[in-house]
Amino acid sequence: MSDLKERIKTESLRLGFSHCGMTRNDSLEKLRPFYSAFLKRNGHAGMGYLESNFERRMHPELVLEGARSVIALLVNYFPPATIPEQDNFILAKYAYGSDYHRVVKDRLNEFVHFMKLTCGSHQAKAFVDSGAILEKAWAQKCGVGWQGKNTLIINKSSGSFFFIGIILTDLELEPDAPETDHCGACNHCATACPTGALDIPYQLDIPRCISYQTIENREEIPAELKSKLNDRIYGCDICQDVCPYNRFASPHQIPAFLPPEPVMNFRKKEWIALTEPDFNRIFADSPIKRSGYQRLKRAMSPRICFQVKPGQA
C-alpha cells in the first residue's frame, strides 16, 4: 500500500495538483448534529443542493458502493497577476478564467484513468464542487488542509486559494494523518469581513456573505449589505486576502485560469457600459456566466436596482 500511495501522489503532481492526501472511508456521522441544526435554521439560505442527499453526504458508500478510500486533491488558482482594483469592480480570483468545474474535472478524470491503468479493474468516482460530497470535511481528514475560521480549507504551506477535487475509490489505500487546526488566536478574517458574515468562528452566516449576495441570491440585494460590497460584483476574497497563510500562496501555472484579455483592461466605465451580447461573448466559458448579466449588473451600484427577470437567474 505504501508503494501505491507514493505512485499516486507522484502522479498527482505530474497532473498539476498541488496537494494530494487520502484516508479510509468512514461515516461522517459526528457531523450530523451540526449539519442538521444548520439546515433546520435555514443556514443554507434556501440553496437546495446543500439540503439534498443528506444521508449520502454522511456515508460515501451510498455514493459509490464498496468505497473504501477517499482521495483529496487541491488545484491552485492563485493568479500570477491580479486584475487592478483601483477605479474598478472586483471579481473573486476563482472566477478569473474558465469554469473550474470543467478544468478540474478533466484533471480528475485523467487521474482516475491513471489509477485504473496502475491498479487494474476498480471502481472510482470523481467530484469537484458537485455531487453529495462534503469536500472540506474530507480534505481535512485526508490531511491536505484544515477548515479555518473563514470556513475555507487552508494549507499550512500554501494558503487557501485552491479548488478541491475528491475521488471515491474501492481501493484500500494507506491513510494520511488528518490535518489539525492552525488558526489559533488569529481573527483577521472575521475582523476584515465588512458584513459580519464570519462573526462566529468556523461558521459562515451565508445570507450576510458577499459571495452569496453577488452570486447565489436571486432576489434584490438588501440595502444594508449592498452598501458594503466594496465594489465586489462577483464573489469576495476579503477573508482570504487577509489570511496570514496566504503569504505563502504561489501563482498557478494553468492558462485556463487566466482572465480574458479584455477583463484585465476593464475599469468601472467599461463594466458599466458592458452590453449583454458582449457579456455572453467574453464570459462564455466563465463561471460568471452562470449568474448571468442581470445579476452582475445588479451589484455594480448601491444606488441602482437591477431586477432579475424570470429565466435570467
Cell of 154: 487552508
- Contact call for residues 165 and 104 (beta carbons, < 8 A): yes
- Contact call for residues 52 and 63 (beta carbons, < 8 A): no
d(CA 29, CA 79): 37
- The 3-state DSSP class for residue 125 equals strand
- Residues 6 or more apart whose CB falls under 8 angstroms from that of 127 comprise 108, 133, 135, 165, 166, 167, 168
Pick the catalytic residue: 129, 205, 231, 285? 129
d(CA 230, CA 182): 29
User: Can you name the residues that pair with 36 across neighbouring β-strands?
Assistant: none
User: Can you name the residues that pair with 20 across neighbouring β-strands?
Assistant: 73
Question: Nearest Cα to 78, choosing from 239, 235, 254?
Answer: 254
Cell of 40: 433546520
Question: Nearest Cα to 76, choosing from 114, 103, 109, 106?
Answer: 103
106 catalytic? Reply is no
Backbone angles phi, psi at 233, to 5 degrees: -115, -10
d(CA 165, CA 73): 5
- Contact call for residues 107 and 163 (beta carbons, < 8 A): no
Alpha helix ranges (H) inside 78-154: 100-119, 135-141
Alpha helix ranges (H) inside 130-185: 135-141
Residue numbers annotated as active site: 129
